[in-house]
Amino acid sequence: MANYDYSRASMTAKQAAATPATFPHRHLLGIDGLSRSDVYTILDLAKVYIDKNRQSDKKHPILKGRTLINLFYENSTRTRTSFELAGKRLGADVINMSVASSSVKKGETLIDTAMTLNAMHADFIAIRHPESGAPHLLARKVNCSVINGGDGSHEHPTQALLDALTIQQHKGKIEGLHVAICGDILHSRVARSNMKLLTLLGAKVRIVAPPTLMPSCPESFGVTPFHDMREGLKNCDVVMTLRLQTERMNSSFVPSEREYFHFWGLDREKMAYAKKDAIILDPGPIIRGLQIDSELADDIGRSMILEQVEMGVAVRQAVLELLAGRV
Ligand code: CP
């Protein structure tokens, strides 16, 4: 495969930490534009931070003096908090801008808001916005690094990277694995970023959804669509569930929640179609009893949902460090 640094991917976390990496990007706007080598550079560095974050002293202040602004126009628990923790653990000053109490409410545009923050010499802006493409627009107007924390139903690149890291931690590889992404694929930026990233890394990706929640031309992503969950889960190594993104729906896409869970909710009976050692991922928030059975979500032998949260901090530390050009 072109542009893939096999030597780096096969290094231990310790070797990777000791080996200067190159990362040729100023922004992280999506998975598009990243090479396999770029992805492994992020994942290898993130592994170093997994270890550091498990120690009592979690500070590694290589970004002392830098400023990260979290500009979130949509709600978030995991992404915003982990960007904040990532920035603080690296010694940066972190500002969480409250959009609800900002001049956005007086009619200030996204670009004017971003240029105002840029004039304060921010070094990084992590943005979440309901409009697809908002981070890309911002990146053309500011001279700091822009990180996409989720734009509409388009992309959520750091989520896909942390999902890949979680899979790697458990399976030791991604290439050749069968991954089923299940649920509301149509509205999901997590699904889009994962379809791009996991196929880039050589996984065989299936998307499993009712026709109303399936994107048009799924084959263009290099994935295989399934309209039957049991068929879609057969012999999978990884099962990823997604919530119904009701905030992006302007009409009813499912007959009823009860019926949805019956056909599309992950429970033990459906999970039995996957491999015996298959793991479960979900980007959260998990809606218990809708996309996944509550007891299965809490099964620490199978469900990696909280581990994904842990990987999220490490991945965001790696992304900040690489964008800062510090390795
Ligand atoms: N996975 C994810 O993006 O979660 P939050 O919406 O809580 O950030």
pLDDT tens per residue across span 93-105: 999 998 888 898 8
* pLDDT given at position 16: 59
Residue 82: CB within 6 Å of ligand 1?
no
Question: Angle 183-292-169 (CA atoms, 0-180°, nearest 5)?
Answer: 85
> To test the ligand 1 pocket, which listed residue (73, 79, 194, 245) has its Cβ within 8 A of the most ligand atoms?
79
- pLDDT tens for residues 20-44? 567 999 999 999 999 999 999 999 9
Closest by Cα among 282, 306, 308, 307 to 293: 282
Q: Which atom of ligand 1 is nearest to the CA of 308?
A: 1
CA 195 remoteness from chain centre: 11
Residue 191 has pLDDT above 80, yes or no: yes
Q: What confidence score (pLDDT) does residue 3 get?
A: 37
Note the pLDDT of residue 128.
97
pLDDT in tens, 264-283: 999 999 999 999 999 999 99
The answer to whether the Cα torsion of 294, 299, 302, 305 is positive or negative is positive
What are the pLDDT digits (tens) for 231-249? 999 999 999 999 998 888 7
Q: pTM here?
A: 0.93
Is the Cβ atom of 283 under 6 angstroms away from ligand 1?
yes
pLDDT bucket at 14, cuts 50 / 70 / 90: low
Provide the pLDDT for residue 139. 95
